Structure 1
């Protein structure tokens, strides 16, 4: 009897560890969203996580009068310092970006508040200030 109970508990523990591992590393989908970063914050009571919002500006593609329906909420893993720094820069400049993300199966509180995690950022090409463009077009004196 004791041996059977030990085997049942062992199998249940292995299944539980397998399920948690699947939820932690499993990816449901991947994608790209384009827009401007309107919010980036580090928040949480017990677990501090990086969270943000992207203004998609769908130009009428979303059939709603609510401007919040045009935002994409995302999380950034704490070890992604380069991504956090770049997001801080583009949120202050208002620059349009493409955010590559993965969607996880479940929200785990120590990872973030959303199922969407940013993996890569593509910044839009920098435009030259108007004075530089004018100087390039002006004939040599």
Structure 2
């Protein structure tokens, strides 16, 4: 009976460890640069800050006269007041920004609408 309890405890610890890794861990991280085109506070139950960054135009190789806008959507932690202020300032002044993001394994409503969580902003000249 004691062996069964130990095995059960080990299974629970492993499940919690793997779950915690996928909940709090990052799949990837990196930088993106572009012009802010949208920044808003959204949500019914969980209020999150969401933004869109225009990364620039992408040319269509089959039809060179047609270009496609490359829009990247991201979320911002609600507790990052300085970050939100920089993003709003860049949006209102039409400045380019460089953002650092963490891509999470899964999207959760309380964290934002996307898997990309921005944690650092630099306004470019």
TM-score bracket, shorter-length normalisation: 0.7 to 0.9
CA contact (8 A) 1:62 1:70 kept: no
Q: 1:99: which partner in 2?
A: 99
Q: State the alpha-carbon separation in 2 of the partners of residues 86 and 54 from structure 1.
A: 14
Q: After TM superposition, which residue ranges in structure 1, 4 or more long, deviate above 6 angstroms?
A: 61-64
Structure 1 stretches lacking a partner, 5+ long: 126-141
Q: State the alpha-carbon separation in 1 of the partners of residues 88 and 123 from structure 2.
A: 12
Mapping of 1:43-82 within 5 angstroms? Answer: 43-60=42-59, 67=68, 70-82=70-82
Once the two structures are TM-superposed, the CA of residue 73 in structure 1 deviates from its matched residue by 0.4
Q: 1:131: which partner in 2?
A: none
Once the two structures are TM-superposed, the CA of residue 21 in structure 1 deviates from its matched residue by 1.4
Q: 1:26: which partner in 2?
A: 25
Could you say if the C-alpha distance between residues 20 and 8 of structure 1 is closer, same or farther in structure 2, counting changes exceeding 3 Å? Answer: same
Could you say if the C-alpha distance between residues 26 and 40 of structure 1 is closer, same or farther in structure 2, counting changes exceeding 3 Å? Answer: same
Q: State the alpha-carbon separation in 2 of the partners of residues 7 and 89 from structure 1.
A: 56
Q: State the alpha-carbon separation in 1 of the partners of residues 27 and 55 from structure 2.
A: 22
Task: Number of aligned residue pairs: give it.
Answer: 123
CA contact (8 A) 2:57 2:67 kept: no
> Of the two, which has the highest radius of gyration?
1
CA contact (8 A) 2:107 2:113 kept: yes
How does the TM-score come out when normalised to structure 2? 0.81
Could you say if the C-alpha distance between residues 18 and 80 of structure 1 is closer, same or farther in structure 2, counting changes exceeding 3 Å? Answer: same
